[in-house]
Structure 1
Amino acid sequence: MMKLSGRERWLLFWEAIITIGILLLLDWSALTIIDQVVHTNESFQVGIFEIKSGLSFGPEDLRIWSYQWVGILIIGGVNLWVLIWRLVRRYRSFQMAHILSELHYIAAGHFKHHISYKLNNNLQKIIDSVNAMVDAQIRAREDELAIERSKDEMITNISHDLRTPLTSIIGYLGLVENEYEKLTPALIQKYTHTAYSKATQMKSLVEELFEFAQMQQLDLRLNFEKINLSEMLEQLAASFELEAQHKNLTLTTESWPDDIIVDADPDKMARLFMNLIQNALKYGTNATFIKLTSRLERNYVEVRVINDGEKIPAEAVEHLFDRFYRVEGSRSTKTGGTGLGLAIALGVVEGHNGSIYATSDDNTTEFVIQVPIIQRSMGKLNENETHTQSTPSA
């Protein structure tokens, strides 16, 4: 409830006094005019007499013999309504003034301030809207701070991941440059090979940074076309088969139905599954298999990348798609990862209006992707054709 100040209460009191005074003057004038009209018009007098004769009230049939009293009662009721209307109107103007004062206080820089008034009129909608705006401002500010911290962390991580191989490159090439006459051909080859591998690592990081930056662009345009997702997964599995064999893994695919046609950017979709397969190969410790499954649902396709490696800690699962995040505690790049693969995967899925999440238990770790069969940007002309191709079900 809003409390009025002493000054406002006095203003409200004098508003009532002035209103009553004005109404009494108007009433006296009205009654005087009515009395003159009645006394100067014989037909009015006859009509009033007949009305009074026909009116009675109560069990004893009391009669009103004075039309002045009837006028006073009517005018009194009107006066009371006008007085209440004026006071309520002035009271609400005070309420609006308090709300404006609160708004000026918020606009002065107190962006976390909420208006605490609870009113029983339409002004409450204004208060609720202002408080909702304040909450939105608080959330936006928190998001902005989180983005700033994320940018700072990203710069730190990039600096670390670039500085480490760059230091090695400079170090080994410096040895070759300064100690060339003292080095054997075998050492020269070893040092240049190490510098080359570190340079390749830097190139991979820069390329992933560039691709990640592309996926974060608000005006990102994907080249959608109809692709056979089942065939794509089979081809990717075949391309990673040799690497899987070196790690004593079996890499298989399953699709229900055999051919799943979806609208997608083939290059970006291929990168999505390549990143997930590479992630399973690098971090699926003690895994014996990697399985790619795809299933056609009513209006979307669900793809799962499954391995039976060691369980990912529950607290780490929700951060897997954060940029530069690695489950292991250190920033070591011994696994060859940059920490951007899953962040890029997330960007690809969101660009296809889909979703991606991970689950992990003692038996398997699964990355689940769901994307629509038909993309809005493909237009409506191909919708019937695509629907016909997607009717088979498991």
Structure 2
Amino acid sequence: MDGALWGSLNLLRKASLPWQESDVELVCDVVDQLAIAIQQAELHRQVQQLNINLERQVQTRTAQLQLAYDFEATLKQITDQVRDSLDEDQILESAVKALAKRLGVGCCNAAIFDIEQGTSTIRYEYAAGIPPSMGKVSQLADFPEIYEQLLQGHHFQFCSLLAHPERGTVSMFACPILDDNGVLGDLWLVNQSFYEFNDQDIRLVQQVANQCAIAIRQARLFQAAQAQVKELERLNRLKDDFLSTVSHELRTPMANIKMAIHMLDIILRDLGMFKTRENPLDRYFRVLKDECQREINLIDDLLDLAQLDSQQTSLTLSEVSLQSWLPKAVEPFLARAHNQQQGLEIEIAASLPTVKTDLSYLERTLAELLNNACKYTPVGEQISISASVDDQSESEAVVVRVCNSGVEIPISEHDRIFDKFYRIPNSDPWKHGGTGLGLALVKKLVERLEGAIHVESCPGKTTFVVQLPIA
């Protein structure tokens, strides 16, 4: 068929019966049909073989894809467990347990290196029927053939030649836990002596070791940050304790100095020493009284802040109607604003609910804000105080706004102005000076009243917004 010989068809008959031409033609036709049938059978066989081969390839590829999927799923599961913790021991425990169960090994442990001390400490071990070694410390120098390779970032597997007294003859695989900064520790897997860790096992262990390294670095960074935060908190407490102690120690002598200045003032006036304001003695004496009062105010502010921080004083809550209380609280500042050629106006909403607050805290808050407004508002500018219901807040609250024109606070300073001792440079046109504690004290007072305060500023205008809870 097609020039190829497939075989032959042999026919025998008696010599007395010669082959007729028609017989020969019939045999030739049969042979042709037989060749066609044989060719079709061969083609069918080839097609079947191709189908079998293709099915095997599909099964093989499916198995490979399933293996890859299982590998990625396992790795993701282990990674999620490892990365969910910021505790080194928990990280290593999760990795060791997951690897031991996934690979079905008899033992798996994780150790952390101390390069300075030259030690390796097993931090967690998962062992099935094998005496555990958790907590065991090994000297790196005692096993150079092992740890030199691990410190260089190499993994390896081997089979013990001599039987271990506890584990017997086993096969082992060691993989370093390392990142770009160096080796942090290692992972060990122990199994039967006839077991060989394949490429898939090794790849999984390496990936888990990498995830452990990342998680451990993150945990150490977090712990370092936490330690710094605790240290800063400790230093801040020491600072506050120091300021409180110093303030208490200074209060008595400053009170005595103020009393002595007052008595000296009486005596000098009786002697006629202050008859004219041009007298240098009068000017020096006024400086002495002003600076004494400034120091007393500083001490009082420091002590008030210390009490607020420690929450030593309890609140005396009462319901306050701002319609009647606010005008009286503003009245002492009217003369000051007039003398400094500043306008001062009050705007209170018609229907305003009462607020539940500590009146002394509220009075101190408003006084500090108005004092700052008078201090920093230029000549000819306006100071306004308003009270209204806060419609934008999720919880019902009354908003008190203290606004002054002619001055603005840069956005970069909005958070800093509530820090202790912070003062905005070059923003005191009247040169009144200050301690830098006023707004820090205001914020503490408002927070103690379960309210909130923030500053809003635009060109030529600054507004302090105080939110107070409704009764």
- The normalised TM-score by structure 1 is 0.54
2:89 aligns with: none
User: Is the contact made by 1:231 and 1:259 (CA closer than 8 Å) also made in structure 2?
Assistant: no
1:207 aligns with: 300
- Cα deviation for residue 351 of structure 1 reads 1.4
How do 1:120-135 residues align onto structure 2 when only pairs under 5 Å count? 128-135=218-225
Larger radius of gyration: 2
1:338 aligns with: 435
* CA–CA distance in structure 2, aligned partners of residues 319 and 328 of structure 1: 12
Gaps of 5+ in 2: 1-111, 114-139, 187-206
* CA–CA distance in structure 1, aligned partners of residues 156 and 418 of structure 2: 65
How do 1:301-340 residues align onto structure 2 when only pairs under 5 Å count? 301-329=398-426, 334-335=431-432, 337-340=434-437
3-state DSSP class of the match of 1:208? helix
* CA–CA distance in structure 2, aligned partners of residues 244 and 252 of structure 1: 10
2:379 aligns with: 286
The correspondence for 2:275, drawn from 186, 210, 215, is: 186
1:157-216 deviation line (CA, Å, top 9, x unaligned): 999xx9999999999999999x99997462799479635555444443333332222222
Change (3 A) 1:10 1:359: closer
* CA–CA distance in structure 1, aligned partners of residues 163 and 177 of structure 2: 20
- Sequence identity percentage: 21
Change (3 A) 1:10 1:206: closer
Instruction: Compare relative contact order (CA 8 Å, sep 6+) and give the higher one, 1 or 2.
Output: 1
Q: Quick check: which one's strand share is greater?
A: 2
User: Is the contact made by 1:232 and 1:270 (CA closer than 8 Å) also made in structure 2?
Assistant: no
2:390 aligns with: 296
2:459 aligns with: 362
The correspondence for 1:225, drawn from 318, 321, 328, is: 318
1:347 aligns with: 444
User: Is the contact made by 2:377 and 2:406 (CA closer than 8 Å) also made in structure 1?
Assistant: yes
1:79-137 deviation line (CA, Å, top 9, x unaligned): xxx96xx64xx759999x9559xxxxxxxxxxxxxxxx983567865654343112222
- Cα deviation for residue 280 of structure 1 reads 0.2
User: Is the contact made by 1:166 and 1:199 (CA closer than 8 Å) also made in structure 2?
Assistant: no
Change (3 A) 1:157 1:363: farther
Change (3 A) 1:185 1:370: closer
The correspondence for 2:334, drawn from 241, 248, 258, is: 241
* CA–CA distance in structure 1, aligned partners of residues 362 and 273 of structure 2: 47
The amino acid that maps onto 2:146 is R
* CA–CA distance in structure 2, aligned partners of residues 364 and 227 of structure 1: 29
The correspondence for 2:209, drawn from 119, 124, 143, is: 119
Gaps of 5+ in 1: 27-81, 101-116, 374-385, 387-394
Change (3 A) 1:309 1:214: farther
User: Is the contact made by 1:357 and 1:368 (CA closer than 8 Å) also made in structure 2?
Assistant: yes
Q: Quick check: which one's helix share is greater?
A: 1
Change (3 A) 1:267 1:158: closer
The correspondence for 1:263, drawn from 356, 367, 379, is: 356
User: Is the contact made by 1:282 and 1:335 (CA closer than 8 Å) also made in structure 2?
Assistant: yes
- Cα deviation for residue 364 of structure 1 reads 0.7
3-state DSSP class of the match of 2:466? strand
3-state DSSP class of the match of 2:423? coil
User: Is the contact made by 1:165 and 1:202 (CA closer than 8 Å) also made in structure 2?
Assistant: no
- Cα deviation for residue 313 of structure 1 reads 4.7
RMSD: 5.5
1:306-330 deviation line (CA, Å, top 9, x unaligned): 1103233555444322223333459
Residue correspondences, number: 294
